[in-house]
Amino acid sequence: MKHLISAADLSLDEILSILDTAEEMSVVNDRDVKKLPTLRGKTVVNLFFEDSTRTRISFEVAAKRLSADVINFSAKGSSVSKGESLKDTAQTLEAMGAQALIVRHHASGAAHNLANSGWISSHIINAGDGKHEHPTQALLDAFTMRKRIHGSHSRGKSLDGLKVLIVGDVLHSRVARSNLLLLRSLGAEVRLAAPATLLPANPNFLGASYYLGLDDAIDEFHPDVVMMLRVQLERMSASFFPTAREYSRGWGLSAERLARLSENAIVMHPGPMNRGLEISSEAADSAQSTVLEQVANGISVRMSVLYHLMSGETRE
């Protein structure tokens, strides 16, 4: 594997290998000395054209725990503001010694274009491209589900038959797309619940069936996992729902809806959360919530992805 651009690029064997290696990385992350020499002498660049807390920092921590050097590039404050292109920016960073670029960009396809342009020879990891994909988020979500279900016996296990309900702003969500692709490869049954205005034009999005009411979805589907999506106000040029209060009443995971889930069901959110809009504090902070586990697992999963892409090379 040279790049990680889409969850669809991963075979079941590759997904299981990444998740199993992440289990080993999580053991390292529980030690006092959380460090492996695997990527000593390599340089990893976080190339971020959009804001991020979790993804950027967890890739930085992951690369450092594998002993790589890390350069953080943020478009804000860089020569991008003087008109420098993605090509010139990437070539400049590679000239400084980068061997992997972790790319977050507002344009769908930006990471794919870099990987296939011939401009550079670095590994490219898609850390979120517009509304398109966020494959490492899907991997860490799958890892979190597997760990909650199978505990310390997760290695080699798929998510066969697991019922996952993805709720909310599907239209603007790269997390929804990557999760649909990855979870299906792992054998999960994934359904959507969203207002019609926040579903893609073809509502059978990637073949998933959908509900136009959250209460119906909970009562009929009895999900094992409820994944709440952030309402992406920054990507909305029009009004997709009447008021925040109305959205919260119809689509928010309230304390009452949380109580109607099965007691073993888990509540996920990729973050950052809009508390009081798509998720209540009662749900976000409940014992069923995996929000902070997802963040912690993100480090192990991203260590595993870097390991899979970069560890086999001869040091330059």
* Residues forming the site for ligand CP (CB under 6 A): 52-55, 128, 134, 137, 270-272
Shortest CB 298 distance to ligand CP, Å = 8
Cβ(8)–Cβ(299) below 8 Å: no
Q: Which two tokens stand for residue 297?
A: 């697992």
CB nearer ligand CP, residue 43 or residue 55: 55
Shortest CB 299 distance to ligand CP, Å = 13
Shortest CB 272 distance to ligand CP, Å = 6
CB nearer ligand CP, residue 55 or residue 158: 55
Shortest CB 148 distance to ligand CP, Å = 18
Residue 54, helix vs strand vs coil: helix
Instruction: List Cα–Cα distances, 70 to 24, 47, 102, 132, 229, in angstroms.
Output: 22, 11, 11, 26, 30
Phi-psi domain of 118 (left: phi exceeds 0; alpha: psi -120 through 50; beta: other): left
Say how far apart CA 310 and CA 303 lie, in whole Å: 10
CB nearer ligand CP, residue 94 or residue 129: 129
CB nearer ligand CP, residue 23 or residue 133: 133
Shortest CB 6 distance to ligand CP, Å = 16
Q: Which two tokens stand for residue 192?
A: 């959507």
Query: Which string of b and e fits 60-95 if b means at least 16 CB within 10 Å?
Result: bbbbbbbebbbbebbbeeeebeeeeebeebbbebbe
The structure tokens 């002993």 sit at 67
CB nearer ligand CP, residue 53 or residue 209: 53
Shortest CB 133 distance to ligand CP, Å = 11
Q: What angle do CA 89, 91, 95 make, to 5 degrees?
A: 115
CB nearer ligand CP, residue 43 or residue 46: 46
